[in-house]
Amino acid sequence: MSETTNLALPFIEASQAQKHVTHNEALLVLDALVQTGIVDRDLTSPPASPVDGEAFIPASGSTAQWYGNDLAIAVWQDGAWKFHTPQKGWIVYLTDENMFAFWNGNTWSDLSSAMGALQNISSLGINTAADATNKLSVSTDAVLFNHDGNGVQHKLNKNAANDTASLLFQTNFSGRAEMGITGDDDFHFKVSPDGATWNESIRIDRNNGGITFPKGALLERHLSASVDLGGGADWWGPADHLTTAYTSGSGVALANSRMYFSAFFVPRTLLLLGGFVSLHGASSTTGALLRVGIYELGAPNGSNWDIGNLVADFGTLSAETADNKVFDLANPVIVEPGWYLTAVGVSGSGADAIYGRWHAPGLTRYYPHGSGASGRPRILGPSYYIFENGCTSEIVSGLPATWTKNPALATSSINNFSFQLVFPKWREV
């Protein structure tokens, strides 16, 4: 009697009598081999009281009624054992081990271990659906990448320098933070309020490891309890806790109609209220005016540095008398982190102003003190003598296109200070 190739199901012959017997035998084979559940594969002898339809895989060295049928599928049917020789690719479920096994032609192997050899699958979704963009998608409370040896690396490789290799952090699938090599091979840290507008906070140069802060460094300002700000919540002078100062007893001559610039850094968002200049010597020109303002520090321009947009024009006060000239902005200005310039000039001859020198980390704060020619910036708190780069420049012929000192790059030298003639007045936002 002929049989089918894979499951060895008996064919019914055309002239066969009692065809139902052959048909029923084929059904029994199907019942045993389709969706097969194996009770045990570790026994070498048959169980004492098998249940009709139960299937086993006799272990190597089987005895008694199983003798000679090692690793076959043994099924108890109608009071007798029936044996089926497995074909390559057959899959069974081992109920006592809670796992699937498949016949590889020689033995029964763990199906899950074979899954580890999967290669070049087009997509994979774990607890979620993958798609054309996210070919690997995982929905889980946590993901663990454990070492297989001494260490582990998570590699992100891009095709070219102007491509992107990054980690993107999202809220409801809208980007909020990103870090990686995006658009070039420098390392970037960016944040976004809405997934569309991005602000770069930190950049690490790939060539030398240098760190820049495109939006400024939001450095915490520490004040000791003993330091009186001389204005309650407001203070005059450095906004950067990396900069302290001391006052010189000498004045700087302010030539007629010239502008004097000095750089300073704002490390966090502040409210600019105004400022003061200690005009130590009055102008000899009738009607002379002292004018003060603050500009953004612009972009590098060769060996020079552009002057940026006007931030605040403090306006003018009379320069005909010496005194502390206090400017109050009618509309205070929010100043974002970054580099800025103070600008001061007199439309007359003979005036001079007392300057401060801004140096190293400390708690120094100024306040206007005294009157007349004795008026000068007074210091509150300690000061340190670590010299910074010179940031003073006298400009003839009005506001220039460039400023000849770069406060971030100019080299340091003894007795080369940051001269400050204008002392801004601040308040925390």
Domains of the chain, by residue range, sit at: 35-114, 156-215, 234-428
Kindly tell me if the per-residue pLDDT of 257 is higher than 60.
yes
State the pLDDT confidence band at 229, using cuts at 50, 70 and 90: very low
Q: What is the DSSP string of 397-413?
A: SSS-SEES--TTTSPB-
Least confident of 227-241, 264-278, 316-330: 227-241
pLDDT at residue number 429: 78
Q: What is the pLDDT of residues 59-105, one digit of tens each?
A: 999 999 999 999 998 989 889 998 988 888 888 889 899 889 998 98
Cα separation of 388 and 256, whole Å? Answer: 28
State the pLDDT confidence band at 417, using cuts at 50, 70 and 90: very low
Is residue 266 within 8 Å of residue 367, measured between CB atoms? no
Kindly tell me if the per-residue pLDDT of 3 is higher than 90.
no
pLDDT at residue number 221: 44
State the pLDDT confidence band at 233, using cuts at 50, 70 and 90: low
Cα separation of 60 and 75, whole Å? Answer: 17
Instruction: Identify which of 377, 394, 387, 429 has the alpha carbon closest to the alpha carbon of residue 410.
Output: 387
| Mean pLDDT value across residues 129-155 | 94
| Mean pLDDT value across residues 229-255 | 63
State the pLDDT confidence band at 395, using cuts at 50, 70 and 90: very low
pLDDT at residue number 406: 41
Q: Is the dihedral angle over the CA atoms 53, 59, 64, 66 positive or is it negative? A: positive
Average pLDDT over the chain, rounded to whole?
78
pLDDT at residue number 219: 47
Q: Is the dihedral angle over the CA atoms 310, 274, 269, 404 positive or is it negative? A: positive
Is residue 214 within 8 Å of residue 226, measured between CB atoms? no
- 234-428, CATH topology level: Jelly Rolls (2.60.120)
Kindly tell me if the per-residue pLDDT of 29 is higher than 70.
no
| Mean pLDDT value across residues 400-422 | 47
Q: Three-state DSSP class for 79?
A: coil
State the pLDDT confidence band at 216, using cuts at 50, 70 and 90: low
State the pLDDT confidence band at 142, using cuts at 50, 70 and 90: very high
Least confident of 110-124, 186-200, 324-338: 110-124
Kindly tell me if the per-residue pLDDT of 403 is higher than 60.
no
pLDDT at residue number 22: 56
Q: What is the pLDDT of residues 119-136, one digit of tens each?
A: 778 888 999 999 999 999
pLDDT at residue number 160: 96
The vertex-264 CA angle with 263 and 268, nearest 5°, equals: 150
pLDDT at residue number 56: 95
| Mean pLDDT value across residues 327-332 | 95
Label residue 302 left, alpha or beta by phi (over 0 means left) and psi (-120 to 50 means alpha).
Answer: left
| Mean pLDDT value across residues 297-310 | 76
pLDDT at residue number 140: 95
Express as a percent the part of the chain with pLDDT over 70.
70
Cα separation of 365 and 359, whole Å? Answer: 12
Burial class (CB in 10 A: 0-12, 13-18, 19+), 158: middle
Kindly tell me if the per-residue pLDDT of 404 is higher than 60.
no
Q: Mention every residue, 6+ apart, whose C-beta is less than 8 A from residue 404.
A: 304, 305, 393
pLDDT at residue number 328: 95
